[in-house]
Structure 1
Amino acid sequence: MKSITVTELKAWRDGNEDFQLIDVREPYENEICTLDGILIPMNDIPAEFGQIDKTKKVVVHCRSGKRSANVIAFLEQQHGFTNLYNLEGGILAWIEEVDPSMEAY
């Protein structure tokens, strides 16, 4: 499984890299803090995976990186995705290393 650090993700954003960001947390978590990705809660992925682009890089994130890793494993095994990156440490790492002004939970 490919992964990306929060500092690499910040560099992608700052450099206008063409990628898609998928948030697999629950809506209430997204309301606390967000990286402005497309919200598809983990349990909705089997029905909603068609929203995920297969033609460009896709970063999948959650709170700590565990749910997103599970989602990526599912998508790679069941649907043949090869363009997915797990955000190491999830949004908690983003808050700690990139934007401490965001609310952690």
Structure 2
Amino acid sequence: MFNKENISSDELIELLENRKNGKIDFKLIDIREPHENEVARIKGTDELLPITKFHRDKEKWQKLLNENIIIYCRTGNRTSHLQEYIQIMFNKTIPHLSEGITGFNGEIEQN
């Protein structure tokens, strides 16, 4: 599951449930900007790492790439660009929520 490029809303809902039940471990990373995350985020998001700060947080990303992670943004556009960059720089495939938070049918936390 963590070697594929695209994760659907239903797949993420199932993965989050399995993580809650201790069957799987992964980190869900929001790569949107802080003001977007403050408005709404997927329930179960572990970390906010804005794509615009990728170079500043490069060491953190290198460590995260050794773990199971799933990334998401608003529509899947920014995550697809980050996937390409990570593939080129680190030769690593990471999954993203293909339709972003706007296409997610699970629980959303809002402020």
Query: What range describes the TM-score normalised by the shorter chain of this pair?
Result: 0.7 to 0.9
User: Residue 80 and residue 70 in structure 1: after superposition, are their counterparts in 2 closer, same or farther (change >3 A)?
Assistant: same
Aligned pair partner of 1:6 in 1, 4, 9: 9
Q: Distance in 2 between matches of 1:51 and 1:63?
A: 22
Aligned Cα root-mean-square deviation (Å): 1.8
Q: Of residues 73, 77, 80 in structure 2, which corresponds to 1:62?
A: 73
Q: Which of residues 23, 27, 49 in structure 2 aligns to 1:20?
A: 27
Normalised TM-score (structure 2):
0.78
Q: 1:90 aligns with which of 97, 100, 106?
A: 100
Q: 2:49 and 2:69 mapped to 1: Cα distance?
A: 13
Contact 1:57 1:85 (C-alpha < 8 Å) held by counterparts: no
The runs of at least 4 aligned residues of structure 1 exceeding 4 Å deviation read none
What amino acid sits opposite 2:95 in the alignment?
Y
Q: What number of residue pairs does the alignment pair up?
A: 99
1:78 aligned counterpart, secondary structure: helix
Equivalent pair of 1:24/1:41 in contact (CA under 8 Å):
yes
Could you tell me which residue of structure 2 aligns to residue 41 of structure 1? 50
- Provide, for residues 48-94 of structure 1, a one-character-per-residue CA deviation record: whole Å limited to 9, x for no partner: 13323223321110000000111111111112223x10101100111
The structure richer in helix per residue is 1
